[in-house]
Structure 1
Amino acid sequence: MKVPYLAVGAALLSVLACSVPSTAADPLVLNDIEWKAAPAKGKGEPHLQVSRRKSNSSVSIDGSRRELAGTKAVLRGAAGPVSFTIVHAAGTLACTGVLKAAHDGAGRCRFAADPGFERDLASRGLAPEDRDDLLAMLLVDATIELADGLTAAGVQPKDDGDLIAAAALDVTPAYVRDLQSEAMTLTTIEDAIACKALDVDGAYVRGLAAAGYRKLSAHDVVGMKALGVSPEYARAMNRAASGSGK
């Protein structure tokens, strides 16, 4: 079964926007960055949108990341001038601006990349093309620990884009290990990213194994998921093929 990974590309467009290469010089410090805070919609969480030139990325201010705790506290405050700083292994994003109301404001930022982090990436073959990629890593929480963990799990990132995509979609070593089973062969980070983009999880893969499938490629599993093939449906098809109605 061969189904193109079209849905994967669509899922990554928004989260990878900040890693678009810059056409200007690549200084250690990036200044032309803007931020906007948007209040929650429905049952969602407030978001911080960070943009530079034609690139942008949105970060949920939901309290799940410790380095955003200070930012969350500032952006939920009263109207008036504000400043906040996000410190990450990739560098430091320092922002100032004005809130019109809680989680509703805008301003400008300055990003200072961390040379040590950049060297650590390079030593693993993940050197960024430019420092916009380091800003993207801060926004999606891409770390050396994630890169090493994915490598240990058997799906080594081949470049910094792989690491950014994995972090953006929350492809963790635990997720990769949960996917690996007798039903599916998983050996590349691209396949792990494709699985996560289509919400393939360990339970789904184990369900296919219980239905009688063995050693499927990740491409096949993603294709089955994209077509809405559930483990129950797979079992029914196998029973029909074997002439058993049970």
Structure 2
Amino acid sequence: MTRLFAFAAALLLTALTVSSSCVALPSSPLRFTLEEPNGATNGTVQLTFRQEGNGDTHFTSNSFLTKDLGGLDLAALRGGGSGPIRFAVAGDPGRVDCTGTGGSGRASGTCQVVANPSFNAFLAASGIRQPTESETFSLIAVGANRATVTALADARYPVPSIDDLTDLAALDVSPGYIRALSSGGYRPQTIDDLVEFAALGITPAYVEGFVRAGYGQLKAHELVELKALAITPDYVAGFERAGYRNLPVDTLVELKALDITPDFVRAVQRGGPLPSPDRLILLRSVGQDISKQAN
């Protein structure tokens, strides 16, 4: 039960992280709103893309540096009245060209998605199908790039799908992160596992900590379960000092899910024999007063 809880938590975190970064839009004209927050001094604007149709509304909103919006006239955006506004969001997969009107720190209008033929040719050469217009928009919006595709191939991952590339970019998975996991011997077997690693912040250093603690053969799903509940090598070491050696991952997950600590162990033990992990879990799960328990 607890193992399933931990795994579900990891999947939920992954889904939330990716969906908050990008929502794929249908193949139709896009509308945008661009706003510069009052008093903003860091050169950022909030850019929202929206499409409505068939009773549904699809949108994605992100903060951008003004220097990354090619062609944006800040004087026109900030000026009084209303005037023409033009800018583009560009990346390896293509461009989103936007035109509209604006002033006083706000603009709105429509956009067109223009795919980059050389990027699509690169994908085809890598065994990846050509993205649709809506997928191209998603790839641009999250900053997908060739370097990630190359890093995946170098690390001998399976050929990624368009959705894989979108998810990885939405989570800011860099070629360096992919290489670090691979060179350290901690490469997940699948891209789905890599996405979960990135969503939870599983780093080579995190894995190495468990290797030093005697957990050198952890599987990807076990690392996901441990990280989802913020279980650290220090947490494991605390139980080892209390007398528990080589606790299985499932047991560690159950203990952490119930907030069972070495201090709780000492309160239950009270100078008697070391209680079993199952006893600790039972006492905590039923909420009994440990001060009245006899060993």
Structure 1: 5+ residue stretches without partners:
none
- Residue of structure 2 in register with 1:94 after alignment: 97
Aligned AA for 2:61? S
- Give the one of 6, 11, 16 matched to 1:10: 16
Structure 2: 5+ residue stretches without partners:
247-261, 263-295
1:161, distance to aligned residue in structure 2 (A): 0.6
Q: Does 1:55 align with 2:66?
A: no
Q: Secondary structure at the match of 2:69?
A: helix
Distance 1:52 1:122, change over 3 A: farther
User: How far apart are the structure 2 equivalents of 1:72 and 1:164?
Assistant: 30
Q: Over aligned residue pairs, what C-alpha RMSD do you find?
A: 3.1
1:223, distance to aligned residue in structure 2 (A): 0.9
- Residue of structure 2 in register with 1:146 after alignment: 148
User: How far apart are the structure 1 equivalents of 2:182 and 2:236?
Assistant: 19
User: How far apart are the structure 2 equivalents of 1:193 and 1:227?
Assistant: 17
Structure 1 segment 196-211 matched on structure 2, within 5 A: 196-211=198-213
- Give the one of 118, 129, 146 matched to 2:120: 118
User: How far apart are the structure 1 equivalents of 2:120 and 2:17?
Assistant: 27
- Checking the alignment, whether the CA contact within 8 Å between 1:67 and 1:86 is kept in structure 2 is yes
**1:34-71 deviations in whole A, cap 9, x for unaligned?**
112244599995321223343322232137xx753654
1:73, distance to aligned residue in structure 2 (A): 4.9
Higher relative contact order (CA closer than 8 Å, sequence separation 6+):
1
- Residue of structure 2 in register with 1:241 after alignment: 244
Name the TM-score, length of structure 2 as normaliser. 0.67
User: How far apart are the structure 1 equivalents of 2:184 and 2:148?
Assistant: 25
User: How far apart are the structure 2 equivalents of 1:200 and 1:216?
Assistant: 13
Aligned AA for 1:47? Q
Instruction: Identify which range, 139-148 or 38-47, moves more after superposition.
Output: 38-47
Whichever structure has more helix as a proportion of its residues is 2
User: How far apart are the structure 2 equivalents of 1:209 and 1:164?
Assistant: 31
Number of positions where the alignment pairs a residue of Structure 1 with one of Structure 2: 232
Which has the higher Rg, Structure 1 or Structure 2?
A: 2
Q: Secondary structure at the match of 2:102?
A: strand
- Checking the alignment, whether the CA contact within 8 Å between 2:88 and 2:96 is kept in structure 1 is yes
- Checking the alignment, whether the CA contact within 8 Å between 1:37 and 1:75 is kept in structure 2 is no
Instruction: Identify which range, 158-167 or 142-151, moves more after superposition.
Output: 142-151
1:159, distance to aligned residue in structure 2 (A): 0.7
Whichever structure has more strand as a proportion of its residues is 1
User: How far apart are the structure 1 equivalents of 2:68 and 2:45?
Assistant: 16
Q: Does 1:68 align with 2:69?
A: yes
Percent of residue pairs bearing the same amino acid type: 25
User: How far apart are the structure 1 equivalents of 2:169 and 2:185?
Assistant: 25
Distance 1:180 1:230, change over 3 A: farther
Instruction: Identify which range, 112-121 or 134-143, moves more after superposition.
Output: 112-121
Name the TM-score, length of structure 1 as normaliser. 0.79
- Give the one of 69, 72, 84 matched to 2:87: 84
User: How far apart are the structure 2 equivalents of 1:162 and 1:75?
Assistant: 38
1:221, distance to aligned residue in structure 2 (A): 0.9
Distance 1:78 1:196, change over 3 A: farther
User: How far apart are the structure 2 equivalents of 1:161 and 1:72?
Assistant: 34
